Homo-oligomer: A and B are copies of this chain.
Amino acid sequence: MSGKDTVRCKIVEAAKKRFSHFGYGKTTMAEVASDCAMSPGNLYRFFPGKLDIAEAIATEDFEKHLTSLRKLAVAPARDARQRLHDLLFEELRRTYHKLEKDPRAYEMASVIARERPEFANWMLATERKILVELLEEAERRGELSCDDKEYVAEMVQSATMKFRYPQLWSKLTLPALERELEGVLTLLIQGICPQSLAHQRHGRVTTVPA
A residues in contact (CB < 8 Å) with B: 117, 135, 144-146, 151-152, 154-156, 158-162, 169, 171, 180, 183-184, 186-196, 205-209
Contacts and interface: CB of A to CB of B under 8 A. Distances in A.
Nearest to A205: B193
B192 A188 contact: yes
Nearest to A84: B192
A69 B88 CA distance: 32
A146 B180 contact: no
Contact of A159 (B152, B159, B190, B208): B159
A144 B188 contact: no
Contacts of A155: 180, 183-184, 186-187
Given A146-B192, A208-B196, A187 B161 contact: no
Contact of A187 (B159, B169, B193, B194): B159
A18 to B, nearest CB: 31
A82 to B, nearest CB: 14
Most chain B beta carbons < 10 A, residue from A117, A159, A208: A159
Nearest to A183: B155
Contact of A193 (B146, B151, B193): B146
A145 B196 CA distance: 11
15 contacts: A135-B192, A152-B183, A152-B192, A155-B184, A158-B183, A159-B188, A161-B161, A161-B162, A169-B169, A187-B191, A190-B191, A191-B195, A192-B205, A193-B205, A195-B207
Contacts of A151: 183
Contacts of A144: 192-193
B207 A209 contact: no
A115 to B, nearest CB: 14
A207 B190 CA distance: 12
B183 A154 contact: yes
Contacts of A180: 154-155, 158
